[in-house]
């Protein structure tokens, strides 16, 4: 590769990185990661079900890796939950549907991001700490994290955190 080709390649890389940062709101760290986070609160069906939710969610995007961690309080010990990254803000249509990196691909990880990667239960204090890692830079449809209470026949949304 000659010097001009090297320069062109470098410019393309810089343009791509700039585009990624421009399309995703958040804080760029010194290491180049884009960090978004938000507080969990009681959401949608959660109030009627008696939940009082707290905690926080964090998404860290790197060029080839996105990691989501959640810390949720106010869950019911012994109950079952699932969590997904969703494609709308909490205040918009109950956080919409599941985030998908490629809308044409499967409705499951790794195309979707599910902290806990399926059903999880909180500890005896009603606290859950879960995470998920995928190997791509999550697109800008990753706007919130929802926790669903998983009952025998339904999965109402009980908690939501906006990622900003």
> Which residues form the interface with Cu ion (CB under 5 A)?
84, 146
Q: Rg of the Cα trace of the chain?
A: 18
Q: Is the Cβ of residue 61 or residue 84 nearer to Cu ion in the bound state?
A: 84
Least distance between Cu ion and beta carbon 18 (Å): 31
Nearer to Cu ion, 33 or 142 (CB): 142
Which of 60, 82 has the CB closer to Cu ion?
Answer: 82
Q: Indicate the residue whose CB is closest to Cu ion.
A: 84
Nearer to Cu ion, 33 or 85 (CB): 85
Residue 130 contacts residue 85 (beta carbons within 8 Å)? no
CB half-sphere exposure, 57, CA atoms < 13 A = 30
CB of 123 vs Cu ion, minimal distance in Å? 22
Q: In the bound complex, what is the minimum distance in angstroms from residue 114's beta carbon to Cu ion?
A: 8
d(CA 138, CA 64): 9
CB nearer to Cu ion: give 84 or 143. 84
DSSP letter for 31, please: T
Which string of b and e fits 118-130 if b means at least 16 CB within 10 Å? eebebeeebebeb
Task: Provide, rounded to whole angstroms, the least separation between the CB of residue 88 and Cu ion.
Answer: 11
Q: Are 65 and 33 in contact (CB under 8 A)?
A: no
Q: Can you name the residues that pair with 131 across neighbouring β-strands?
A: 69
Q: What's the CA gap between 3 and 123, in Å, rounded?
A: 58
């Amino acid at each position: 590769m000659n010097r001009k080709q090297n320069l062109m390649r470098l410019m393309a890389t810089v343009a791509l990185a700039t585009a990624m940062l421009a399309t995703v709101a958040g804080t760029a760290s010194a290491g180049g990661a884009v960090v978004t986070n938000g507080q969990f609160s009681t959401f949608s069906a959660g109030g009627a079900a008696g939940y009082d939710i707290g905690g926080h969610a964090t998404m860290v995007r790197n060029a080839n890796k996105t990691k989501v961690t959640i810390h949720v309080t106010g869950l019911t010990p012994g109950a079952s939950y699932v969590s997904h990254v969703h494609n709308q803000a909490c205040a918009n249509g109950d956080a919409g549907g599941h985030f998908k990196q490629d809308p044409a691909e499967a409705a499951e990880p790794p195309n979707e991001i599910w902290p806990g990667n399926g059903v999880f239960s909180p500890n005896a204090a009603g606290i859950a700490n879960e995470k998920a890692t995928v190997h791509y830079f999550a697109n800008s449809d990753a706007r919130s994290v929802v926790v669903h209470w998983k009952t025998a026949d339904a999965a109402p949304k009980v908690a939501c955190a906006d990622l900003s």
